[in-house]
Amino acid sequence: MMVFLYLRVNLSFMLTKSDKSQLRGIIFRHLDGIATATSAFSLHKKEVLNYLLEKETVPIKQLSDVFNANEGYLNVALRILCSQGWLEQYLDNKNNTVSYKTNDKSEAAFKLAPVYSEAVNLLRYSDRFAQDKMISLDAFVALERIFDKFETKFDLDISDENSIEYQIYKHIEGVIAGPIIVLLGVNGLFHKYFMEASFTAEEYHKDPESFKKILDFFAYLGWFNKKRNTYQFTEKGLFFAKRASAYGVTVSYIPTFLQLDELIFGNPQVLKTNSPHETEKHVHREMNVWGSGGAHATYFKVIDQVIIDLFNRPIDYQPKGILDMGCGNGAFIEHIFNVIEQQTLRGKMLDDYPLFLVGADFNKAALKVTRANLIAADIWAKVIWGDIGRPEVLASDLKEDYNIDLKDLLNVRTFLDHNRIWERPIKTYDFISHSSGAYASMGNRLNNNHVEASLLEHLIKWKPYVDKFGLLIIELHTINPKLASANLGKTAATAYDATHGYSDQYILEVDVFKNIAEKAGLKPDETHFAKFPNSELATVSINLLKGYH
What DSSP string describes 441-503? Answer: ETTEEPPHHHHHHHHHHHHHHHHHHHTTT-EEEEEE----HHHHHTTTTS--HHHHHHHHHTT
Sign of CA dihedral 335, 337, 340, 343: negative
More confident residue, 549 or 213: 213
**DSSP string for residues in 161-199:** TTSHHHHHHHHHHHHHHHHHHHHHHHTTHHHHHHT-S-B
**To the nearest 5 percent, what fractions of the chain are helix, strand and coil?**
55, 15, 30
Task: Flag whether pLDDT at 229 surpasses 90.
Answer: no
Which of 133-142, 246-255, 419-428, 449-458 comes out lowest in average pLDDT?
133-142
Cis peptide before 314 (omega within 30 of 0): no
Stretch (H or E) spanning 306: helix 285-310
- Considering only CA atoms, which of 378, 359, 357, 356 is closest in space to residue 368? 359
- Considering only CA atoms, which of 287, 302, 194, 196 is closest in space to residue 246? 287
Q: What is the rounded CA–CA span in Å between residue 379 and residue 81? A: 46
Q: What is the rounded CA–CA span in Å between residue 361 and residue 277? A: 11
Mean pLDDT across 524-538:
94
What is the model's pLDDT at position 13?
61
Mean pLDDT across 479-497:
98
Q: Which residues pair with 227 in a beta bridge?
A: 230
DSSP state of 153: G
CB atoms within 10 A of CB 331: 23
Mean pLDDT across 198-222:
88
Residue 9 binned pLDDT confidence (cut-offs 50, 70, 90): very low
Interval 275-308: pLDDT, tens: 766 788 999 988 887 888 777 767 888 889 899 9
**93-107, 355-369, 383-397: which is most confident:** 93-107
What is the model's pLDDT at position 193?
53
Which of 179-183, 186-190, 326-330 comes out lowest in average pLDDT?
186-190
What is the model's pLDDT at position 263?
98
- Which class in CATH covers the domain with range 285-424+448-477+506-547? alpha beta
Distances (CA, A) of 282 to 135, 139, 265, 278, 360: 21, 21, 17, 12, 21
DSSP state of 530: E
Task: Flag whether pLDDT at 8 surpasses 50.
Answer: no
**282-296, 326-340, 487-501: which is most confident:** 487-501
Are 190 and 218 within 8 A, CB to CB?
no
Mean pLDDT across 242-268:
96
Are 42 and 262 within 8 A, CB to CB?
no
Task: Flag whether pLDDT at 544 surpasses 80.
Answer: yes
Residue 273 binned pLDDT confidence (cut-offs 50, 70, 90): confident
What is the model's pLDDT at position 549?
57
Which of 294-303, 361-370, 424-433 comes out lowest in average pLDDT?
294-303
| Cα-based angle 355, 387, 526 (whole degrees, multiple of 5) | 65
Q: What is the rounded CA–CA span in Å between residue 48 and residue 64? A: 10
Q: What is the rounded CA–CA span in Å between residue 523 and residue 412? A: 16
Which of 378-382, 445-449, 513-517 comes out lowest in average pLDDT?
378-382
Structure pTM?
0.93
**DSSP string for residues in 7-63:** HHHHHTTPPPHHHHHHHHHHHHHHHHHHHHHHHHHHHHHTTHHHHHHHHSEEEHHHH
Task: Flag whether pLDDT at 548 surpasses 80.
Answer: no
Residue 102 binned pLDDT confidence (cut-offs 50, 70, 90): very high
Average model confidence (pLDDT) across the chain? 91
Task: Flag whether pLDDT at 487 surpasses 90.
Answer: yes
Q: What is the rounded CA–CA span in Å between residue 116 and residue 113? A: 6
Mean pLDDT across 104-132:
93
